[in-house]
Amino acid sequence: MTIEVEWRDYDVIVVGSGGAGSMAARAAADDGARVLVVSKDPVGCSDTKISEGNATVRAVATDDDTEETLSENIRMAGGNLPVQSITDAFAKDSQSAFDLFRAQGLRPAIDHDRDGPKATPMAFGGHNHRRSVGLPNHGIAFAHAGWNAVVQGNGVDYLEDAWFLDLVTDEGDDAESRVVGGLIYHASAGTLIAVRAPAVVIAAGGLSTLFFPKTDTMRGNTGDSYAIAARAGADLVDMEQCQFLPFCIASPPSYEGLLVGEPASASYLGVLRDKNGKVILDSVYQRTRAECSAAIMRAVADGRGSPNGGAYLDMTGNKVLPRSGPYFMRYLETCLPAAYRNARQAFSKPVAKCEEPWEVRPSAHYHMGGLRADADGAAVKGQGDGERALGIKGLFAAGQAMGGLFGANRLGSTSLTEVSVFGARAGRAATALAKASTAKADDDAFTPLIEATTARFGQVGTVAAATLKLELQQQAWDAIGPARTADGIAGIAGLFASLTERLDSVAIPGYATWNQSFIEFEELRNLLEAGKAVAAAAGERDGSLGGHVRLDRGEISVFSTPYSTVVHRDENGGYVARRETRPRTPFKKLVSYKVKEDWRRLQSKWFRYLPASVKDRKLEARYQAIMGTPDGAAPEIEPGSDDAAIAEKKAA
């Protein structure tokens, strides 16, 4: 079949229109670039829109929250895998990045005493300072700001219902691979669009659809970012680090995968139980997402899981106390409002009221790996923290597409700041490169990709891509989901090979307009690439760390030499992994961190054994300190006290 090919010219192509893509487009256009945004979904309909709407803003609550403090907090939480030049950039730009959203219409509550956005009353998960800002209408506020950034024009054109298929590169005068453009399938028009451009910013989200329906994200997260970059020859870093939210709905199917809580929302007396009622994890409110997910999946692997492959989050101990119980319910309702609404809609009344335990199961949420990049999101290769080496000139990434920021764990509320920090940085850097570029794209470089894509329309086959995708998703959960083993990681390689071979047997009709079979084919192709990259990195990471949980191996010690995994696609379509050593946090700081963590958990265990009346009074005081007394006044807590430590740590 012959499909019309339209040719266009731009300075910068931005792939994706969520938080990262919209900020990249706005920054590039404001610097004078002609920008094209390519979006599968309507502009702004992304994970940003369905988020809880909390963003990290340094020093929003206290002046002692320095750039160094925030940068180090991110690196330690990430298992020392994050690249310091990138965490430093995040810490430096977090305030101005939030202001970029405000310039597009974001309206946070204002703390008039500090003449700035008002911080949440507690430190969000893993932060060592209060530095999170929430919006009453959650992610919708950020999505609308991003929508404004794109659709108001001023140098930005956009295509909706459009799939960016692949980069087009050639070899420059210095023998370094360079971007010359990309090929787009515009479904609603039924055309292919070949775009000549010296710079492309990939901001197309993560890969959580690899685990559908066990995910709380948008279905468009089909690994496009990683597949596009890898096929072009770029390195990917820390691809084994998938973040799974532990407390998501296991049943009914219509709500499957949706978030109902965080470790923090389990509060002081929440525990995890197996199907026999045995406690499999205590002090839940002090645990990480990965720890909770691992406890659930270990119980499932041992045959002690709940009927729908999860476990039970038991918060009844908080509810039954007469004085503090009502405070707990109010806290639960306001801590994560959207999550609690999910619980009320999906569960029975006794369960939603915490009179019975909740059946929960982990759900794929966020991907912490991505393109191996520098602090401006530019693709790099080579060794060393922050070293600028030969990469793919003109290739940039932002948001979940970019690796190197979070490593093994992402702090709460950082993603909405990340998209603005690195979206803006990538947009500006891409524009600078485009303006400096004097090379002309050779149209012949597009020919192989155009011919290969055109040949897919009308492909005769015996199987549907949707059927193969379902097979991939089912096995990916077991092999490279929230709990992994060496056998599972090795075993899924056979499935990858089989599905890759069967791509040529996928039936695709010959028509061009809204060819859903072709779209399913392309997304399956990308999910396969993403899955291969995750499996290769998981095989290289030989112990549990952060979002990578190995049932057959122990935890990697915080005192061991940290390393990132780097994967690269070879000529045969396989992935080769290697290790890249990272600097370790000084020994004294690590010891101090571990001692404080262990002491808090010991206090929590001790607290549970106090008489009920004593616990009740203490918890009432703590909730009042966090949420305010019934008359609206919040009593002060002496800094350094037990109550202050628990109140600050509560969301971790």
User: Got the DSSP string for 501-559?
Assistant: HHGGGB---S--TT-HHHHHHHHHHHHHHHHHHHHHHHHH--SBBTTB-BTTS-BPPTT
Fold annotation for 242-365: Flavocytochrome C3; Chain A, domain 1 (3.90.700)
Residue 526 and residue 58: Cα distance in Å, rounded? 36
Residue 363 burial (10 A CB sphere; 0-12, 13-18, 19+) = buried
Residue 32 and residue 273: Cα distance in Å, rounded? 57
| Per-residue pLDDT at 381 | 76
Average the pLDDT over 497-513 and give the result.
97
The backbone region for 51, taken as left when phi is positive above 0, alpha when psi lies in -120 to 50, beta otherwise, is beta
pLDDT (tens digit per residue) in 271-300:
999 999 999 999 998 887 888 988 999 999
Residue with tokens 């307009």: 513
- pLDDT over threshold 80, residue 642: no
Helix or strand run (H / E) with residue 77: helix 67-77
| Range scoring the smallest mean pLDDT among 343-347, 362-366, 638-642 | 638-642
Q: Where are the domains of the chain?
A: 5-37+46-151+161-219+228-240+374-447, 242-365, 457-581, 588-649
Residue 248 and residue 367: Cα distance in Å, rounded? 17
Average the pLDDT over 166-172 and give the result.
89
Which tokens in the block code for residue 594? 């571990």
| Range scoring the smallest mean pLDDT among 63-72, 171-180, 267-276 | 171-180
Q: Are 46 and 19 in contact (CB under 8 A)?
A: yes
Residue 41 and residue 163: Cα distance in Å, rounded? 9
What does CATH list as the number for 457-581? 1.20.58.100
More confident residue, 69 or 176: 69
Q: Are 482 and 244 in contact (CB under 8 A)?
A: yes
pLDDT (tens digit per residue) in 291-340:
898 899 999 999 999 999 999 999 999 999 999 999 999 989 887 888 89
| Per-residue pLDDT at 220 | 93
How much of the chain, in percent, has pLDDT values that exceed 90? 78
**Residue 626 binned pLDDT confidence (cut-offs 50, 70, 90):** confident
pLDDT (tens digit per residue) in 15-47:
999 999 999 999 999 999 999 999 999 998 999
- pLDDT over threshold 60, residue 635: no
Residues in CB range of 196: below 8 A, 6 or more apart: 7, 8, 9, 10, 180, 181, 441, 443
- pLDDT over threshold 70, residue 248: yes
Q: Are 482 and 250 in contact (CB under 8 A)?
A: no
Residue 165 and residue 426: Cα distance in Å, rounded? 20
Nearest to 524 by CA among 568, 472, 572, 477: 472
- pLDDT over threshold 80, residue 172: no
- pLDDT over threshold 60, residue 389: no
**Residue 173 binned pLDDT confidence (cut-offs 50, 70, 90):** low
| Per-residue pLDDT at 550 | 92
In three-state secondary structure terms, 314 is strand
- pLDDT over threshold 50, residue 213: yes
What does CATH list as the number for 5-37+46-151+161-219+228-240+374-447? 3.50.50.60
pLDDT (tens digit per residue) in 452-463:
999 999 999 999
- CA within 13 Å, CB half, 258: 20
Average the pLDDT over 226-234 and give the result.
97
**Residue 533 binned pLDDT confidence (cut-offs 50, 70, 90):** very high
**Residue 627 binned pLDDT confidence (cut-offs 50, 70, 90):** confident
252: cis peptide before it, omega within 30°?
A: yes
- pLDDT over threshold 60, residue 154: yes
Residue 229 and residue 318: Cα distance in Å, rounded? 48
| Range scoring the smallest mean pLDDT among 228-232, 291-295, 365-369 | 291-295
pLDDT (tens digit per residue) in 87-144:
999 999 999 999 999 999 999 999 999 999 998 876 776 788 889 998 888 899 999 9
Residue 496 and residue 519: Cα distance in Å, rounded? 19
190 CB neighbour count, 10 Å cutoff: 15
Query: Would you list the DSSP string of 244-272?
Result: EEEEEE-SSGGGTT-EEE-TGGGTTT-EE
Residues in CB range of 104: below 8 A, 6 or more apart: 26, 145, 146, 148, 149
- pLDDT over threshold 50, residue 648: no
**Residue 341 binned pLDDT confidence (cut-offs 50, 70, 90):** very high
More confident residue, 463 or 390: 463
- Fold match, 5-37+46-151+161-219+228-240+374-447 / 242-365: no
Q: Are 407 and 541 in contact (CB under 8 A)?
A: no
| Per-residue pLDDT at 559 | 86
- pLDDT over threshold 70, residue 156: yes
Q: Out of 47-51, 182-186, 378-382, give the one with best mean pLDDT.
A: 182-186
Query: Would you list the DSSP string of 567-635?
Result: EEE-TTS-EEEEEEE-PPPPHHHHHHHHHHHHHHHHHHHHHHTS-HHHHHHHHHHHHHHHH--TTS---
Bridge-partner residues for 272, per DSSP? 281, 313
| Per-residue pLDDT at 649 | 38
Calculate ∠ Cα 47-48-52, nearest 5°: 100
Average pLDDT, rounded, for the chain: 91
